[in-house]
Amino acid sequence: MFQWKQEKSYVYAVGLMSGTSLDGVDAAVVRIDGCGLESKVELVHYYSRPYDDALRGRLKELCDPVSSDVAKIAGMNVYIAERFAEAAIEAVREAGLRMSDIAFISSHGQTIWHMPETSPTDPYLTRSTLQIGDLSVIAKRTGCLTVGDYRPADMAVGGQGAPLVPYGDLILFRHPSKGRLLQNIGGIGNCTAIPAGAGVEDLFAFDTGPGNMIMDQVVFTLTDGQMSYDSEGAWAAQGQPDVELLEWMLSNPYFALQPPKSTGRELFGASYTAEFIEMAKARELEAADIVATATAFTARSIANACRDFVMPRCRLDEVIVSGGGAHNRTLLRQLAELLPEQAILTSGELGLADDAKEAVIFALLGNDFLRGISNNVTAATGASRPTVMGKLALP
């Protein structure tokens, strides 16, 4: 039986994160002291490895049942793991460390399908999730213990397998007197509400809906692939949201569901975006107005989730934004206008790089997995009980 031995009071580890935005892999080299909710973590170095257009396009194909197949999934499971391993090795090199200094690597993997509910018409399509990026490949290429594939363990005890970051949000951002909402804006937006002085039993979290996913796909489509995102929200700032189209988008039944809830490209992916663009063009909207409407959609869905589901349950003093959306000035300005009662901050303003937060949190999840400590948040995922999430691959 494998038993993890730790000789020092601290470890160096690498957290790997690649989200639903499909923009690349983030690698966070961290030093972790202790374990569980009392863990202390220091970001030693952050490294980002963007996906090229060909790889991003192939991953989008895998997320669409029309264009995906088992051969493509099997091949990409290994190919993307090689890229993850390269990112980890380069991050450690840039940090001035050696791979032998690293106790473990923790990888979220690349989500290509997330199905939190069983199909009402096909019993074989049961609650399930799939993250690719084979752990054994990462372990063998890097020579490090590798932990990953966290979601299935939570789903096995009745949870939705998402969101996973609330556990780390609590460790990193709890405050004795301030109520905080941690709003990550990656491909999908997810939030963690942390009441003042909260413990893990006080948390609640859920996916707010699309983050950058629709905005990025709109920009990619309107520029025929010349641009993959709206840098700092500059294009959206030139347009005006279409009110009627925006209200149609916000009428999606997902937004009325009570938490816990999670979503992904299965609902708000390429087909949804194509329908949105078609409707926008039928309304003869200019390109800037289409981008502005998509941006306003993300801002409104986040603000509505905050008002409908968070504010009735706890006092909030600050909304702390992380992920790629933290760089979108237009989006942040809209959030500030929609939530004037709260201070809108980014995690970078509190000392943790906006793009690094989730990779850091996956390192924390891996640290507690290796110590046998439960690392899910039942109030966030709907799981019936706490459980240890993760799987292990040996080098």
> Residue 59's closest CA among 22, 104, 107, 103?
22
Residue 19 marked ligand-binding: yes
C-alpha–C-alpha distance, residues 273 and 252, integer Å: 13
3-state secondary structure of 328: coil
User: Is residue 22 annotated as involved in ligand binding?
Assistant: yes
Which pair of tokens denotes residue 150?
A: 């966290």
Distances (CA, A) of 66 to 214, 271, 287: 19, 10, 28
The rounded distance, in Å, linking the Cα atoms of 189 and 264 is 9
By the 10 Å C-beta count (0-12 exposed, 13-18 middle, 19+ buried), 322 is classed as buried
174 — phi, psi (to 5°)? -60, 150
* Cα–Cα distance, 366 to 47 (Å, whole number): 19
200 is in an annotated binding site: no
Closest Cα to residue 116, out of 310, 387, 380, 386? 380
User: Is 346 marked within a binding site?
Assistant: no
Alpha carbon distance 41, 12 (integer Å): 10
Q: Is 20 annotated as a binding residue?
A: yes
3-state SS assignment for residue 383: coil
Q: Find out whether 245 is annotated in a ligand binding site.
A: no
What the block records as the tokens of 128 is 């399930």
User: Is 23 annotated among the ligand-binding residues?
Assistant: yes
Q: What angle do CA 363, 348, 326 make, to 5 degrees?
A: 95
Q: Which residue from 217, 19, 32 is spatially nearest to 133, judged by alpha carbons?
A: 19
According to DSSP, the β-strands at 102-115 and 145-148 are parallel
Q: Flag whether 21 is marked binding.
A: yes
Query: For residue 34, how many C-alpha atoms fall within 13 Å in the half-sphere facing its CB?
Result: 8
- The continuous run of DSSP H or E covering 305 comes out as helix 287-305
Tokens of 246: 């925006």
Find the DSSP H helices in 70-212.
70-94, 135-142, 151-156, 166-173
Q: How far apart are CA 128 and CA 159, in angstroms?
A: 10
Which residues are documented as binding site for ATP? 19-26
Which residues are documented as binding site? 19-26
